[in-house]
Structure 1
Amino acid sequence: MPTQAKLTQGSTFRHVVTMSFTGALGLMCMFLVDLVDMLFLSMLGEKEAVAAVGFASSILFFTVSLSIAISIAATALVSRAIGAGDVALAKRRAVNVLAFGILFSSLIVWLLWPNIPHILLFIGAEGRTLDLATGYLQILVLGMPAVMVGMIGSGIMRALGDARRAMYTTLVGGLVNAVLDPIFIFAFGLGVQGAAIASLLARFSMVAVSYYGVVHIHKMLGEFDLMDFLKDLPSISVIAIPAMLTNLSSPLANAIVMEHTSTFGDDAVAAVAIIGRIIPVVFGGLFALSGAVGPILGQNYGAGRFDRMHGAISSAVTYSFIYCLVLCIGLYQLQDCLVSVFNATEETADLIRFFATYVSFSFFFQSLLFIAIAVFNNLGKPLNSTLLNFGRATLGTLPLISLFALFMGAEGILFGQAIGSIIFGCLGFYMARNYIAGLEQKAAEEIIPLDGIRFDEVI
C-alpha cells in the first residue's frame, strides 16, 4: 500500500524518463508483436493478408483507444488522491473506474461485433481482404474487456508511481503473443485467424498480471459499493468521456488515411499497414509519454507543487527531442533493411523510404500534443484534449492529405499527416503551458493570508 506520493519528490526529468521508458517497453513489446504478426503474414506470400490486418488495425486501434481513455481516468483520479494523501479515496476510485471499464467495454463488444463487415467495407476493404479482415477482427474484438482491465490496472499502478509493474502488464501480454503467434499461424496452419487467436489469449494474460500488481502488491482495490460507484460516476465520466472522444480521433484519422490510401491500391495499403506497425515500435517512448507525464502532474497537483509541474513539462520536451533525434536517425539508416524484411514491392518500398526519410521527425511535434493532452486530461480540462485531437484528426488530416495527394500521390498522404502534427502539436503545447500558469495564479489568489489555509479543491 502506498505511504507517500513518490512523484512529488526527486528529479522530474528522472521521473519522466523512468515512467516513459517503462511504459514504452511494455507498449513497444506489444506493438513489436504486431509487427512480427505482419512479418509472419507477409511470409505467407499473400498480400491480401497483410492488407487485411492493416484495415483491421484501424478498428482495433479504436477499441484499444477506448481502453486507454478509461485508464486515463483511473490515473488522474487515483494520482490526485494519492498526492493529497487520501489513500481510502484512491482505493474507492480505483475499484469504481474498473467497474465502469468492464461495463462499458462489454457494451462496445455487443454493439461492434455484428457490424464489423460493414465498417470494414466502409473504410475500403473488399473481396478476399474483406473476408480475412472480418475473421481477424471478430476474434480479437472479444478480448476488449480483458484489454480494458489490463489497461486500467496499469493506469492505477502508474498513478502510484510503480512504473515497473505497470510495464509488466503489456510486457507479459506481448511475450505471450510472441510465443503463440508462430504456433497458431504456421504449426496449426490457421494464418490470419491464428494470429488473432494468439493475440486474444495474450490479452487475457494481461488481466492476470495487472490483477496481481493492483490487488496483491499494492492492495489498491476497495470493496465495490453501488452507492459509492454512483457517487464517483460523474467524476469518472467527466474525465473518461472526453478522453474517449480524444482517443477516438486517432482511429478516425487512421480510417481517413486508410480510405484515401485504398484509392492507390493494395500496395499502398500494405505500405501504410507496415508503417503503422513500425511507428509504435520505434516511437513507443513517445506514445508512453502522456501516460508518464499524467501521474507526475496529478500527484503534484494534488500536493500543490506547481514548480514541479512546470519542471515535468520542460523535462518531457527535452526527453522527446532527444528520443526523436536518435530514433529517427536509426530509422533512416535501417530503411532498406525494413524493405527487405517485409518483402515489399517497389511501390510499397518507396512509401516506407519516404516515411523514414522525410516524415518521421514530425513525431517530435506529435509528442508536444501528447504532453498537452496529459496536462488537460489530468488537470481538469479533458475537453481541450478532445478539441485538439479532433482538430488534428479532421482539419489537420483530411484537407492536408487530400491536397498533398493531388501533387505527390500516395506520398502526399504521409506528408499531409506530418504537417497536421506540426501545426496541432505546437498549438496544443502553447495552450497547455498557459493553462498551468493560469491554475498556478488561481491557486495563489485562493490562499488566505491570515492563516495560510488554502480553500481550493485539489481533487
Structure 2
Amino acid sequence: MANKNVELMRGEPEIAVKKLAIPIMISMLLTASYNIVDGIWVAGLGQSAIAGIGFVTPIFMILNGVSIGLGNGATSSISRAVGAKNHEGASKSATHSILIFLVASILLTAILLLIQEPLLRAYGASGQSLTEALRYSTPLFAGLFAFMFANGGSGILRGEGDMKRAMYAIIVSVALNFILDPLFIYVLNLGSAGASLATIVSSLGSAIVIMYWILIKKDTYVNVTFKGFKFDSKITKDILKVGIPSSLDMLMMSIAMSLYLVFISSIGGEYGIAAFTSGQRLYLFGIMPLTAIASAVAAVSGSAYGARNWEYLSRTHTYGTKFAMAFSIVIMLILVIFAPQLSLIFAYTPDTAPLIPEITNFLRFASFGLLLVGIGMPSSFMYQGIGRGTTSLAWTIIRELIFTVSCTYLFGIVFNLGLWGIWLGLAVGRIIASILNFTYAKYTLRKLKHTLE
C-alpha cells in the first residue's frame, strides 16, 4: 500500500491531487465535525457556555495549529525526500518529527495552562462566560499531546501519500466524540468540561491508531526506529523551517481572531460573540474541503520539487487552484442560501433562539469571502510543500492581520456599520489578500522554472 501511495505522489499531478484530496477532505470534514457536534451539545447549556467556548477559540487555534503546523513540516520534509527517491531521508524525517511532537507537547501544555486565565480576561471574558471558558479550556490544554500526535502523525502519513489511513484514524476519533459528547456533558453532568474531555479522549484514539501503524505494525513507507538514533540538526531544521512558520500561521490567525472578538464585543457584547462563534463554526466547516485540496497540493508540490520537476510543480498549483475554486463556489452558495436553516443548528433552545438572525447575517456576508479563498489557499500550501514556510506565514499575516483586521475595523467601527460591518470586512479582506497571494504564487513559479530546469 505504501509503495502505491509513493508512486501516486510521483505520477501525474492532477490525478495525485484529486486522489489525495478526497480522503483528506473526508478527514477534515470529520475533524471539523468536532466543533459542530460540540456546538450542538453545548448550545443546550445556554448562551454563557457558547460565549465562554468562543473566548477559548483563539487559544485553541494556537494549540491545534501547532500540531497541524508541525505535521505540515513533517509532510513537506518527507514528501520532498520521497520525490528525490531518498527512503532513508524520509524515514529519518519521520523519526525526528515524532520527537519534535513530544517536546512541543510538554512545553506548550505547561505554557497554556499557565496563561489561559489572563488571556481569556484580555479577550473580554468575565463572570459566567469566564467560568465556562475555564471549564472548557483546562482539560483541553492538559490533553494537548493527543492533538499533537494525532495531527502530527497524520502529517507523516500525508508525506508518503497515505491519506486513506489518516482518514480511517479520524473516523475512529469522530465516532468516539459523537458518543462521548452527550455522555460527558449531560449524563456525567460535566457541562463545558465534558465537551473538551470528549474531544481529548477522541483525539487520543486517533493518535493511538496512527502510532500503532508507524511504530508497532511498521507497514508504512517510512521506517521509524529509535534504536541507534542520532540527532541530526539538519533534518530537524528542515522540518521546523516549515513546521514553525506553519504553526505561527495559526498564531497569527488567533491574534486576528482575538481582535475580531474585541471589535465584536465592543459592538454586540455577549450576544455578538455567541453569534460569531456559532457562525464561525459553520464557516470553518465550509472551508475544510478547500484546506484538504490545499494539503494535497502541498504534498504533491513537495514531491515534484524534490524531483526537480518544474512542469509537475506548476501543474499541481494550477489544478489545485481550479479544484478549490469549484468547491468554494458551491460551499458559498450553500452557506448563503441555507443560512437561516443552518443557524438553527446552534440556536435550537429558547435561550439561544434570538441568535438566529445574527448567525444568518454572519453566514450571508462573511461567506462571500469564499469566492476567492479557493485561489489563495492552494498558493499558501504550495509554499509549504517546497519548503518555504516563511512565505506561507507572510501571506497569512497579510491576509488576516493586515487586510482582514483592517477591513473589519473600518466597516464595523470607523463606518459604524455594526456587526454586519464586521461580517462584511471578513469577506472583503480575504478576497483582496487571496488575489494578491495567487498573483505572487505565479511569480514564484516563473522564477523557480529557471532554478529547477
Q: Is the CA contact (8 Å cut-off) linking 2:264 and 2:419 kept in structure 1?
A: yes
1:90 aligns with 2:99: no
CA–CA distance in structure 1, aligned partners of residues 138 and 232 of structure 2: 32
| 1:364 Cα deviation after fit | 3.8
Q: Deviations over 1:172-207 (max 9, x none)?
A: 222211110011111111111111111111121121
| 1:219 Cα deviation after fit | 5.6
The TM-score normalised by the length of structure 2 is 0.93
Identity among equivalent pairs (%): 25
Q: Is the CA contact (8 Å cut-off) linking 1:289 and 1:367 kept in structure 2?
A: no
| 1:148 Cα deviation after fit | 1.1
CA–CA distance in structure 1, aligned partners of residues 221 and 14 of structure 2: 28
| 1:80 Cα deviation after fit | 0.7
Identify the match of residue 232 of structure 1 among 210, 232, 235: 235
Map of 1:359 onto structure 2? 366
Which structure 2 segments of 5+ residues have no match?
none
| 1:401 Cα deviation after fit | 0.9
CA–CA distance in structure 1, aligned partners of residues 385 and 139 of structure 2: 34
CA–CA distance in structure 1, aligned partners of residues 242 and 127 of structure 2: 41
Map of 1:284 onto structure 2? 288
Structure 1 counterpart SS, 2:230: helix
| 1:359 Cα deviation after fit | 2.7
Q: Is the CA contact (8 Å cut-off) linking 2:332 and 2:370 kept in structure 1?
A: no
Q: Deviations over 1:226-259 (max 9, x none)?
A: 5334342222222222222223211111111112
Corresponding residue pairs, total: 443
Map of 1:452 onto structure 2? none
Map of 1:38 onto structure 2? 39
Q: Is the CA contact (8 Å cut-off) linking 1:242 and 1:386 kept in structure 2?
A: yes
CA–CA distance in structure 2, aligned partners of residues 338 and 380 of structure 1: 39
Identify the match of residue 375 of structure 2 among 368, 376, 399: 368
Identify the match of residue 406 of structure 2 among 395, 399, 411: 399
Identify the match of residue 246 of structure 1 among 213, 234, 249: 249
CA–CA distance in structure 2, aligned partners of residues 316 and 243 of structure 1: 19
418 and 77 in structure 1: CA distance in 2 versus 1, 3 angstrom threshold: same
Map of 1:56 onto structure 2? 56
Structure 2 counterpart SS, 1:227: coil
Q: Deviations over 1:408-450 (max 9, x none)?
A: 2011112112111111111111111211221121122xxxxxx
Map of 2:347 onto structure 1? 343
1:378 aligns with 2:385: yes
35 and 2 in structure 1: CA distance in 2 versus 1, 3 angstrom threshold: closer
Which structure 1 segments of 5+ residues have no match?
445-459
Q: Is the CA contact (8 Å cut-off) linking 2:160 and 2:221 kept in structure 1?
A: no
Q: Is the CA contact (8 Å cut-off) linking 2:300 and 2:385 kept in structure 1?
A: no
CA–CA distance in structure 1, aligned partners of residues 343 and 452 of structure 2: 54
Kindly report which structure 2 residues correspond to 1:170-319, keeping only aligned pairs within 5 A, or say none.
Answer: 170-215=170-215, 216=217, 217-218=219-220, 220-224=222-226, 227-263=230-266, 264-319=268-323
CA–CA distance in structure 2, aligned partners of residues 369 and 218 of structure 1: 32
| 1:356 Cα deviation after fit | 2.8
231 and 16 in structure 1: CA distance in 2 versus 1, 3 angstrom threshold: closer
Kindly report which structure 2 residues correspond to 1:67-86, keeping only aligned pairs within 5 A, or say none.
Answer: 67-86=67-86
- Paired letter, 2:345: V
Alignment RMSD (CA, Å):
1.9
CA–CA distance in structure 1, aligned partners of residues 361 and 116 of structure 2: 32
Q: Deviations over 1:117-168 (max 9, x none)?
A: 1110111111100011012101011221221111121111111111111222
Map of 1:449 onto structure 2? none
280 and 168 in structure 1: CA distance in 2 versus 1, 3 angstrom threshold: farther
CA–CA distance in structure 2, aligned partners of residues 13 and 272 of structure 1: 37
Q: Is the CA contact (8 Å cut-off) linking 2:293 and 2:323 kept in structure 1?
A: no
Map of 2:427 onto structure 1? 418
The TM-score normalised by the length of structure 1 is 0.91
1:164 aligns with 2:164: yes
Q: Is the CA contact (8 Å cut-off) linking 1:8 and 1:305 kept in structure 2?
A: no
Q: Deviations over 1:41-66 (max 9, x none)?
A: 2123x210111111112211111111
Q: Which deviates more from structure 2 when the two are superposed, residues 432-441 or residues 345-354?
A: 345-354
11 and 85 in structure 1: CA distance in 2 versus 1, 3 angstrom threshold: closer
Map of 2:437 onto structure 1? 428
Q: Which deviates more from structure 2 when the two are superposed, residues 245-254 or residues 77-86?
A: 245-254
